[in-house]
Amino acid sequence: VILSNFNHKELLFKFLIIGDYGVGKTAIVRRYTEGKFSSNYKITIGADFAIKTLDWDPHTKINLQLWDIAGHERFGYMTRVYYKYAVAAALVFDISRVATFQSVKKWLSDLREKVTLQDGSNIPIVLLANKCDIHHAAIPTEQIIKFCKENKIGKWFVTSAKENMNIGRESGVNFDRLEHNP
Ligand code: GTP
Ligand code: MG
């Protein structure tokens, strides 16, 4: 709680967006926070930040602090610093590039090794199969479902930052109502 009075509460949550380079993390954040998309690829160096404010209920405002981590960071030593105090994460891969799905496992273990909630439990993770507008899904749905089951990922969605599919509350996904891992 960062601010509270008789009938109003304001909460701040740190939310990570991770996954290989070029999968669309920055595009997803931009679509979610600004409603825009660009097809130019501008690589993220280190981490970018954005805030999404949600009116949760008439008495509660939620500020989601989105940490958009550079895909190349997996090879760096900074992720531990970036992950600190995060309470949830979106792990993104590109549905048209198998290698980015294979990397999901590495991102997942990096994350689970380096960040937990205060009570020691894993942070909730949503898996996003992005670029579903490219009609060439290289990874079968069953494989994604199996992976989620085996790795205790509670939720996954196919998304498109380009076509605005499953990005915001408007388009279906509740980034703001993440379920905890089973
Ligand atoms: P790093 O910053 O290097 O980690 O990459 P990133 O994951 O932030 O990727 P970024 O959002 O910059 O997107 C990479 C490229 O994919 C850009 O050219 C985007 O325009 C494109 N892209 C992102 N999302 C989509 C999508 O949903 N569909 C399509 N067709 N292209 C997308
Ligand atoms: Mg980026």
The whole-number pLDDT of residue 37 equals 97
Identity of the residue numbered 162: K
Q: Name the average pLDDT for the chain.
A: 89
Of the candidates 47, 36, 19, the one whose C-alpha atom is nearest the C-alpha of residue 127 is 19
Ligand 1 pocket member 73 (CB < 6 A): no
134 lines ligand 1 (CB under 6 A): yes
Using CA atoms, how far apart are residues 160 and 171, in angstroms rounded to an integer?
Answer: 10
Residues 6 or more apart whose CB falls under 8 angstroms from that of 98 comprise 138, 139
What digits encode the pLDDT tens for the residues 80-135? 899 999 999 999 999 999 999 999 999 999 999 999 999 999 999 999 999 999 98
Protein residues within 5 Å, CB atom, of ion ligand 2: 25-26, 44
Model confidence, pTM: 0.90
| pLDDT number for residue 1 | 60
**Taking a C-beta distance cutoff of 8 angstroms, is the pair 45, 76 a contact?**
no
Give the residue among 125, 86, 135, 131 at the shortest CA–CA distance from 104.
125
Tell me, in angstroms, the distance from the centre of ligand 1 to residue 38's CA: 9
Model-level ipTM above the cut of 0.90? yes
